[in-house]
Amino acid sequence: MKLFLRTLALLCLLCAFAGCGRKEAAAPGAATPIRIGEFSSLTGREAGLGQYTHMGVLLALEELDAAGGLLGRPVEVIAEDTQSKAGESVTATRKLVSRDHVIALIGEGASGRCLEGAPIAQAGRVPLVTPSATNPKVTEIGDYIFRVCFTDPFQGTVMAKFARDSLKARRVALLVDVGASYSVGLAEFFKERFKADGGEIVAEQKFAGGDKDFRAQLTAIKAANPDAIFAPCYYGEAGLILFQARQLGITLPILGGDGYEAPELIEVAGAAAEGAYFPVHFSLESTDTRSRDFVQKFTARFQKPPTGVSALGYDALMLVADAIRRAGTTDGAAIRDALAATHEFSGVTGRITIDSARNAHKPASIIRVRDGRFQFVETVAP
Amino acid sequence: MPPKSQLWLLATLVVAGIVSAFSGRIDPYFLDVAMGVGIAVTLAASLNLINGFTGQFSLGHAGFMAVGAYSSAVITTNFGPKLLPLVGGQVWILFPIALVVGGLLAALAGLAVGAPSLRLKGDYLAIVTLGFGEIIKVIFQNVDAVGGARGLVGIPNYTNLFWTFGVAAVTVYVVWALLNSTYGRGFLAVADDEVAAEAMGLNPTRYKITAFVVGSFFAGVAGGLYAHLKGYLNPGGFDFNKSIEIVVMVILGGMGRHVGVILAAILLTVVQEPLRQLGDWRMILYSLLLIVLMITRPQGLFVWPLWKKKNA
């Protein structure tokens, strides 16, 4: 009984602790703040993605507040963690929509989890802008779902075009993470375009997210004698793939998707990362003044350079802010209409125009890893 | 006058039905958490029959849940438009049929896994079920008809408070009634001492398989509820961690306790929500909470001397 009471006391303490946090979050301001919800993978397997996005959103929020907020009201971002776990996004978005009454949502850079949360935003008539969910199905969910990044078909097509035209590759091997919708989607669109251009897919190897050893697949690929390897996946696996490929003596160019873009790629693969190519939404070497400005501010604020998703997170919040300003109200339908009418919005990732399918139209930059850093190669326009 | 336990079941069903009728006025976030609780109770109570009462160690509960989730979702999503007119357009007829079919397929999977592997004891079974859970996940990841790795989208949101709590009540009742029947005493006998049970003329393998099949059935039904609650299924959601989550509920509640396991399922589901305020610290605190609870209450959180084991 004593033990039970002790446990109970401990639980009460924890609950009280949790209660404190709640009050802190809802600090009363002069005017009621405009609440924008963010749900991203702040912990778990894709924490790098979520945290870099979140930093971009934070920077945008600080700039908005410094400029006096929106419509004369301060702006508040309520961030929820999805733990990189299936099933969590639903609860997180339901909380943001029904409990916090957010007027817009920014969220989940990973397509799988965005597909989970988006129907709730759609049903609640809350406009949602995803920073980096590239799967085409996401915006097909409904007319309240937007994105500021390019899509998987675009990425796959661009890389196929790049492999064929710039790398002069005729035979390509695929290495696909069958556990990630992102990887499967990219591979599909790459294959379609590459074959249409007269290329040949000589091998198609599979792995599951979280795998650490790719030597078996890479050996099979080596045996097929391709000109290049297309291995769309996130940076964690990509680093290991690059490292093990070079160990096996494979010196071919290895192509990926925007998931490659993280400093961890070079940390994991080291010198083996040389000769990796991938498309990015945003290049640190961009000469555009807005982009340069963003890189400077971000580095000053967080003591590290931004990644593509940081820039997309920043653009996502700025795009929403722009729509709220143009709508002149916090009404969901009005903001949706304003978002849909976005034309040549000058973001840090380029000029964004929202098309009729609610996707962003903008160019992609191809990056090559050289001398341990991400080097800009060329721009491919849609 | 039916027995007291059946009155309890009936009362729970009636209350769930009445509350559910007013669910339109309840905050959707609160509803989401409440339905999550109902599903957690179903999962924990069904696993308790296998891990707690029969003394086996299954680590594949999420796999059975996945079987139920996918099969019922396919019925309502792919065949729903054709089947709905057959039942007069009534969702409340189609949905339970989908749930039961999902449960039956999960039970079938349970039989397929259990029949050969339940001849093994202890750790071996844990490893076999662990493997099964992973296989199921990988199969769904590779079947394009159910969305593959991209996940199954557009599942109708049929799950409501009545179904979640109704199913939870039925599960708890069935497990309770089964164990308090003459036949059911065999489960406890197998858990206590397999050799002695065999000497008394019981067939331990048969009991273990029965427990496994019944447990899998309810896990499958819970999976169906989960699918129609979230509206989206991703094979990644049924990984090893999900199985562990359910095992933790059973262990924390006290293996082979009815009330304890239900309370643990409720606690572990609800406690994650206030912890949301803490952001990055949430997962650390949640894990810390589990460690502290396991150190201070290794026999189970909700076991205290008032409820002696097997006092019924």
Q: Which residues of B touch A82 (CB under 8 A)?
A: none
Residues A320, A256, single domain; the answer is no
Residues A159, A230, single domain; the answer is yes
Q: Which of A244, A216, A215, A245 is CA-nearest to residue A229?
A: A245
Nearest-angstrom CA–CA distance, B29 and B46: 26
Which residue type sits at B113?
A: V
Nearest-angstrom CA–CA distance, B149 and B272: 27
The answer to whether residue B179 is domain-embedded is yes
Q: Which residues of A touch B27 (CB under 8 A)?
A: 98-99
The answer to whether residue B118 is domain-embedded is yes
pLDDT digits (tens, 9 = 90+) for A54-87: 999 999 999 999 998 899 999 999 999 998 888 8
Residues A166, A122, single domain; the answer is no
Q: Which of A315, A334, A314 is CA-nearest to residue A324?
A: A334
Per-residue CA distances from A114 to A138, A139, A344, B230 (Å): 7, 10, 25, 13
| Contact state of B274 with A15 under an 8 Å Cβ cutoff | yes
The answer to whether residue A381 is domain-embedded is no
- How close, in Å, is residue B277 to chain A by CA atoms? 5
The answer to whether residue A350 is domain-embedded is yes
ipTM score assigned to the predicted complex: 0.77
Q: pLDDT digit of tens for each residue in chain A (382 aa)?
A: 455 545 545 454 444 444 444 434 444 445 789 999 999 999 888 888 899 999 999 999 999 999 988 999 999 999 999 988 888 899 999 999 999 999 999 989 888 899 999 999 999 999 999 999 988 889 999 999 999 998 888 889 889 999 998 899 999 999 999 888 789 889 999 999 999 999 999 999 999 877 889 999 999 999 999 999 999 998 889 999 999 999 999 999 999 998 898 888 888 888 999 999 999 888 888 778 888 899 999 999 999 999 889 999 999 999 999 999 999 999 999 999 999 999 989 889 888 899 999 998 887 889 999 988 888 888 776 5
The region of weakest confidence among A44-53, B178-187, B285-294 is: B285-294
CB of B4 within 8 Å of a chain A CB? The answer is no
pLDDT digits (tens, 9 = 90+) for A310-342: 999 999 999 999 999 999 999 999 999 999 999
A197-200 long-range contacts, CB within 8 A, separation 24+: A197/A160, A197/A161, A197/A164, A198/A164, A198/A170, A199/A160, A199/A163, A199/A164, A199/A169, A199/A170, A199/A171, A199/A172, A200/A170, A200/A171, A200/A172
Q: Which residues of B touch A115 (CB under 8 A)?
A: 150-151, 153, 232, 234
Those residues with Cβ within 8 angstroms of residue B301's Cβ, 6 or more apart along the chain or in another chain? A7, B252, B253, B254, B260, B263, B264, B267, B293
Nearest-angstrom CA–CA distance, A70 and A245: 51
- How close, in Å, is residue B304 to chain A by CA atoms? 6
- How close, in Å, is residue B283 to chain A by CA atoms? 8
Domain extent at residue A211: 153-280
Taken as a whole, chain B contains a residue count of: 312
The answer to whether residue B282 is domain-embedded is no
Question: 3-class secondary structure for chain A?
Answer: CHHHHHHHHHHHHHHHHHHHHHHHHCCCCCCCCEEEEEEECCCCCCHHHHHHHHHHHHHHHHHHHHCCCECCECEEEEEEECCCCCCHHHHHHHHHHHHCCCCEEEECCCHHHHHHHHHHHHHCCCCEEECCCCCCHHHHCCCCEEECCCCHHHHHHHHHHHHHHCCCCCEEEEEEECCCHHHHHHHHHHHHHHHHCCCEEEEEEEECCCCCCCHHHHHHHHHHCCCEEECCCCHHHHHHHHHHHHHCCCCCCEECCHHHCCHHHHHHHHHHHCCEEEEECCCCCCCCHHHHHHHHHHHHHHCCCCCHHHHHHHHHHHHHHHHHHHHCCCCHHHHHHHHHCCCCEEECCEEEEECCCCCEECCEEEEEEECCEEEEEEEECC
B291: confidence class by pLDDT, cuts 50, 70, 90: confident
Last residue of a domain, one of A280, A307, A328: A280
Residues A253, A121, single domain; the answer is no
pLDDT of B22 over the 90 cut: no
pLDDT digits (tens, 9 = 90+) for B215-270: 999 999 999 999 999 988 988 889 888 999 999 999 888 888 889 999 999 998 99
Q: Hey, which bits of chain B come out as E strands?
A: none
> What is residue B294's predicted lDDT score, i.e. its pLDDT?
79
Q: How many domains does chain A have?
A: 2
pLDDT of B300 over the 90 cut: no
CATH number at residue A205: 3.40.50.2300
Alpha-carbon torsion (A86, A88, A91, A93), positive or negative: negative
Give me the residues paired with residue B233 across strands.
Answer: B152
Residues A137, A6, single domain; the answer is yes
Residue B111: in which H helix or E strand, if any?
A: helix B91-117
The answer to whether residue B29 is domain-embedded is yes
> What is residue B105's predicted lDDT score, i.e. its pLDDT?
97
Residues A71, A45, single domain; the answer is yes
The answer to whether residue A202 is domain-embedded is yes
**Residue B168 near residue B42, CB atoms below 8 Å:** yes
Residues A26, A135, single domain; the answer is yes
Q: Give the chain B residue whose CA is nearest to the CA of A185.
A: B150
Residues A346, A225, single domain; the answer is no
Taken as a whole, chain A contains a residue count of: 382
The answer to whether residue A199 is domain-embedded is yes
Nearest-angstrom CA–CA distance, A34 and A47: 27
> What is residue B2's predicted lDDT score, i.e. its pLDDT?
64
The answer to whether residue A337 is domain-embedded is yes
Domain extent at residue B12: 4-240
The answer to whether residue B279 is domain-embedded is no
The answer to whether residue B178 is domain-embedded is yes
Give me the residues paired with residue A78 across strands.
Answer: A37
Percentages of chain B per state (helix, strand, coil), in multiples of 5:
75, 0, 25
Q: Which residues of B touch A16 (CB under 8 A)?
A: none
Q: Which residues of A touch B230 (CB under 8 A)?
A: 87, 90, 116
Residues A94, A145, single domain; the answer is yes
pLDDT of B305 over the 70 cut: no
Residues A167, A262, single domain; the answer is yes
Residues A146, A157, single domain; the answer is no
Q: Which residues of A touch B40 (CB under 8 A)?
A: none
Q: Give the chain A residue whose CA is nearest to the CA of B229.
A: A90
- Percentage, residues of chain A above pLDDT 90: 57
> What is residue B48's predicted lDDT score, i.e. its pLDDT?
94
DSSP string, B61-110: HHHHHHHHHHHHHHHHHTSHHHHHHHTTT-HHHHHHHHHHHHHHHHHHHH
The answer to whether residue A31 is domain-embedded is yes
- What are phi and psi for residue A200, nearest 5 degrees? -130, 135
The answer to whether residue A382 is domain-embedded is no
pLDDT digits (tens, 9 = 90+) for A160-182: 999 998 899 999 999 999 888 78
**Residue B206 near residue B23, CB atoms below 8 Å:** no
| Contact state of A18 with B274 under an 8 Å Cβ cutoff | yes
- What are phi and psi for residue A354, nearest 5 degrees? -90, 125
- How close, in Å, is residue A219 to chain B by CA atoms? 23
Q: How many domains does chain B have?
A: 1
The region of weakest confidence among A187-196, B210-219, B281-290 is: B281-290
Residues A275, A201, single domain; the answer is yes
Nearest-angstrom CA–CA distance, A80 and B267: 21
- How close, in Å, is residue A107 to chain B by CA atoms? 16
Q: Are strands A345-347 and A254-255 parallel, antiparallel or unpaired?
A: unpaired
